[in-house]
Structure 1
Amino acid sequence: MRTRTLLLAPLLLSTSCATVSPKAQAPDATTAEAKSPAPERPFGTLREQAKRQQAWLAERVEKALPQLMRQYGVDMWVIPMREYNEDPVFKALVSPTSFAARRRTIYVFFDRGPEQGVERLALGGGSQGGLYTPRRAQRQVDGGGVSREAELWGPEQWQVLKQVVEERQPKRIALNVSRTFAFADGLSHGEYEGMSEALGPDWVKRFTSVDGLAVDFIAWRSADEARFYEEQTKLAWNIIETAFSNQVITPGVTTTRDVEWWMRQRLADLGLETWFQPSVDLQRQGVTEKELGEDPIIQRGDVLHCDYGVTALGLNTDTQHMGYVLREGETDVPAGLKAALKTSNRLQDIVFEELRPGRTGNDILRTSRERMRAEGIDGTVYSHPIGLHGHGAGPMVGLWDRQEGVPGNGDHKVIANQWYSIELQATSVVPEWNGQQVRSAQEEDITIDAEGRVHWAWKRQTDFHLVR
């Protein structure tokens, strides 16, 4: 209880909690409302956020969709799904006010050519703010009366799809079926069977699986999303900087788990979420990881490390930073630890320079590791796409346990307008720690613009966060 009680004061300060005097504990409703602090909304109200997200969706379906369908030689893309069993591409297709598919929803995209563009149909579900043309099944009313449109999800809806297909006569019908990419494998077996039975063997012959269409469509990001992502990344940095400071950490008292929960709670207080439980770990001179245990108390002289993600407006960040707890009498980080961070910064430089559109993840990994070894760096590269998902759609650039390359997934190519988390580690010998090895693990997000230029989403860490 002592640990938690002592930690409570900085937590309250950093989450802007106010102390209420006994005299003011029971004011009338009007006074209470007037004196309540305004909620912290770093990205505006939900309504304001949704307006911006809707603009992103419009640009994605109006600009990226036609480009990708033509690139992959597909004139029709059919994406059927059922409520709570949505295709992974669902998040990239719908407005921020759509949380799940409606009964059965079948999205159909048909390329009518450069002049007329791609037709967007929703068989079931809504128009997503006017971006889709809804089409419904016709249902007879009361024993053969006048027919009317109905939101059906049984065999009738498959017949609507058949009508749509027969009217348009597509040459290639793309389906989301893949043994390589989860993002391109959203068609369930039951939906495939129902669609195949309804359309018949002649149309089934035109079914094709095009992994890259779904993957690249999910991965594609607009210029305004990148502008927002800079602000989102700044917020992640701000929270990490506070977490790795004396506002949250009292050496000899605070544990790593205390800091993890503070970081998660801070997001909840801001009305935001994360896509994974934050993690905080440490390295200590002369002490092994096993000896530290699962929830060690942070002491002076410890090297801190965190892994943290912020979810906002449907987008995700992924950041790993390093911190240091100054010893009594110290005013700066020991030179050997600074050198270790500089080495991982150099490995970041290498991957940053190699990561560009048109190259496969495995090629980027191979050349990065060749340069890493040539410079004498003992490191590991395990970078990944990011965006609508934390571990996003696109080619992997290594896995921590697959440094020889990732078959299949790593063979896909990076595209323009895609984002990555440059995730890696470099291990260095630290003289001040009697030659003990220290692992400097860093992760920083980057954006690739329409011209293929790579940018840090905001900046990258070059100095330790300090607990004094």
Structure 2
Amino acid sequence: MPPSVNFVKHWHTEFATTQLEFTMRTTLLFILFIVSFQSLANPYSQGREIKQLPDVLSFKERVKPLNTMVLDRLDNLLPQLMAEANIDMWLVINREYGEDRLFYTLVPQPTFAARRTTILVFAKQDDGTVERFSVSRYPIGELYPTVWDGGTKAQQWQRLAEVIAERDPKTIGINTSKDWALADGLSVGLHQQLISYLPSKYQQRLVSAESLVVRWLETRSKMELEVYPQVVLLARGVIAEAFSNKVITPGVTSTDDIAWYIRERFEALQLRPWFQPYVNIQRQGDDTSQDDVFMGKDDRIVKPGDVLHTDVGICYLNLCTDTQEMAYVLKLHETDVPQGLKDAMGIGNQWQDILTSHFKTGHTGNQILANTIKTSEAKGIISSTYTHPLGFVGHASGPTIGMWDNQGPTPVQGDWQLYPNTAYAIEGSIKTQLPEWDDQWVQIKLEQSAVYDGTTVWYLAGRQTSWHLIR
């Protein structure tokens, strides 16, 4: 079954295995129940308007669930991934204001920066657990006790060399990568300092932690999957508000007005967009014959008969969304969307089903793309697929499944295999001719946040199957 928005009934049996875990899970349950209560009473389904958004935790209230989820990942996910990557010790080394982006996925909140030089060490133990500590002047909450008493910078690096020698790891992972930006967070300067203080014996044991980093970033824990639907509900709910007469007055409101409403609405909710929302229009009489996936002129006044499209992304509780939906502005005599647009939406949903049917564990992004194109073409669907992973960032690490400007194989990222418990923006578009517009081409651009559980792709908060209507 899909990750359940109503996770109350699953909580104790799935997560609470010790008294300490029970206490921590109960705390998280209580806090997240506040978030989920609104949506449990009024679940969002298949593009229908949300009458009331889920509650959003204050920054203070977010600390407990965030830190509980981080601790859960460190205790239960990291040992598995380090064993999978064959890495005995992992070093995550940061300088203040030049932090490795990965750093913020490992540390408790509130953490705004690495203090001076912060060195996190993860050491695999014989029993399969992972010892974690820091070699740093300042403590990092309770998650990373420091093994350094302080002193000069040289003494800090010397102490790191000592703790490495004490544990004698066969492989030492560092965050360097030619191909993956988020796995390349170790700066040249810090790398040079590490080399200068390590004995030759351990220099030779340094390896790229690329595979570990990608797997850490792409894998979603059970706790995160219980929270993720709430995050997506917020994104879709604000789109539903924006694509309504609450915001849009035909003949007056511009696409730029709508985009800024979305941005400012998120800011008012204390939610962080990871890119500026945008809105565009397709209109009868436009030249829509081109293949540009972002078809639509900037800042136009909305008029009756227009097809609207928006692209929106937020991050909340360390989880990011990416959503595109479509709306129609009714003409004076109309009470519903033209049948041609209903059919076009249906084709878009059919393309989504084709794509997600080809999600198979072990298949690469390039394989999934090729299979999707083959099946779509066999069914006469003109489609473009450009699906990407979601997680701690919007364009996350994991298998790339097509690019909007490249419908062929993507080297490296497209060759990455599909793993269970990973999240994706199911993103792409279809083109079809609209009878009501004298067979003018129209493009249906859809994107919904989803999770692959190893067998099936589940939309985290439904998907759009009917049009947002504006009168």
Give the TM-score normalised by structure 2: 0.85
What letter corresponds to residue 132 of structure 1 in structure 2?
Y
SS in 1 for 2:146: strand
Distance 1:343 1:73 in 2: 45
Q: Is the 8 A contact 1:66 1:118 kept in 2?
A: yes
SS in 1 for 2:355: helix
Distance 1:177 1:44 in 2: 36
Look up the match of 2:134. 122
Choose 431-440 or 88-97, whichever is displaced more: 88-97
Instruction: Please state how far the C-alpha of 1:209 moved relative to its aligned partner.
Output: 1.3
- Structure 1 segment 66-465 matched on structure 2, within 5 A: 66-114=79-127, 117-124=129-136, 128-136=140-148, 149-150=149-150, 152=152, 154-288=153-287, 293-449=297-453, 452-465=455-468
Look up the match of 1:141. none
Q: Does 1:466 align with 2:469?
A: yes
Distance 2:379 2:411 in 1: 26
SS in 2 for 1:130: coil
Look up the match of 1:145. none
- Per-residue deviation, residues 318-350 of structure 1 (Å, max 9, x unmatched): 100000000011011111111111111111111
Distance 2:287 2:72 in 1: 51
Distance 2:263 2:151 in 1: 40
- Per-residue deviation, residues 201-243 of structure 1 (Å, max 9, x unmatched): 2211111114210011112222221222111111211111111
- Per-residue deviation, residues 24-70 of structure 1 (Å, max 9, x unmatched): xxxxxxxxxxxxxxxx9822232221100111101111111110111
| Number of residue equivalences | 414
Q: Percent identity?
A: 40
Instruction: Please state how far the C-alpha of 1:129 moved relative to its aligned partner.
Output: 3.8
Q: Structure 1 residues 184 and 366 mapped into 2: Cα distance closer, same or farther (>3 Å)?
A: same
Q: Is the 8 A contact 1:364 1:397 kept in 2?
A: yes
User: Any unmatched runs of 5+ in structure 1?
Assistant: 1-39, 137-148
Distance 2:226 2:124 in 1: 30
SS in 1 for 2:284: coil
Distance 1:56 1:284 in 2: 46
- Per-residue deviation, residues 236-288 of structure 1 (Å, max 9, x unmatched): 11111111111100001100000000011111111222100001001000123
Instruction: Please state how far the C-alpha of 1:128 moved relative to its aligned partner.
Output: 4.2
Look up the match of 2:28. none
Instruction: Please state how far the C-alpha of 1:113 moved relative to its aligned partner.
Output: 2.2
Look up the match of 2:78. 65
Distance 2:425 2:151 in 1: 41
Instruction: Please state how far the C-alpha of 1:356 moved relative to its aligned partner.
Output: 3.7
User: Any unmatched runs of 5+ in structure 2?
Assistant: 1-52
SS in 2 for 1:109: strand
Distance 1:370 1:261 in 2: 39
Q: Structure 1 residues 397 and 125 mapped into 2: Cα distance closer, same or farther (>3 Å)?
A: farther
What letter corresponds to residue 436 of structure 2 in structure 1?
E
What letter corresponds to residue 150 of structure 1 in structure 2?
G
Q: Is the 8 A contact 2:90 2:209 kept in 1?
A: no
Q: Structure 1 residues 415 and 292 mapped into 2: Cα distance closer, same or farther (>3 Å)?
A: closer
Distance 2:181 2:373 in 1: 27
Q: RMSD of the alignment, in Å?
A: 1.8
Look up the match of 1:17. none
Q: Structure 1 residues 59 and 254 mapped into 2: Cα distance closer, same or farther (>3 Å)?
A: same
Q: Does 1:54 align with 2:67?
A: yes
Structure 1: 4+ residue segments shifted above 4 A:
125-128, 289-293
Q: Structure 1 residues 151 and 282 mapped into 2: Cα distance closer, same or farther (>3 Å)?
A: farther
Instruction: Please state how far the C-alpha of 1:358 moved relative to its aligned partner.
Output: 2.2
Q: Structure 1 residues 217 and 266 mapped into 2: Cα distance closer, same or farther (>3 Å)?
A: same
User: Relative contact order (C-alpha < 8 Å, sep 6+): which is higher?
Assistant: 2
Distance 2:452 2:105 in 1: 18
Instruction: Please state how far the C-alpha of 1:315 moved relative to its aligned partner.
Output: 1.5
Choose 126-135 or 285-294, whichever is displaced more: 285-294
Distance 2:71 2:296 in 1: 51
- Per-residue deviation, residues 69-124 of structure 1 (Å, max 9, x unmatched): 11111111111111111112112211121111111111111111235x11111111
SS in 1 for 2:348: helix
Instruction: Please state how far the C-alpha of 1:392 moved relative to its aligned partner.
Output: 0.8
Q: In terms of Rg, which structure is larger?
A: 1
SS in 2 for 1:135: coil
Instruction: Please state how far the C-alpha of 1:294 moved relative to its aligned partner.
Output: 2.1
SS in 1 for 2:193: helix
Q: Is the 8 A contact 1:91 1:388 kept in 2?
A: no
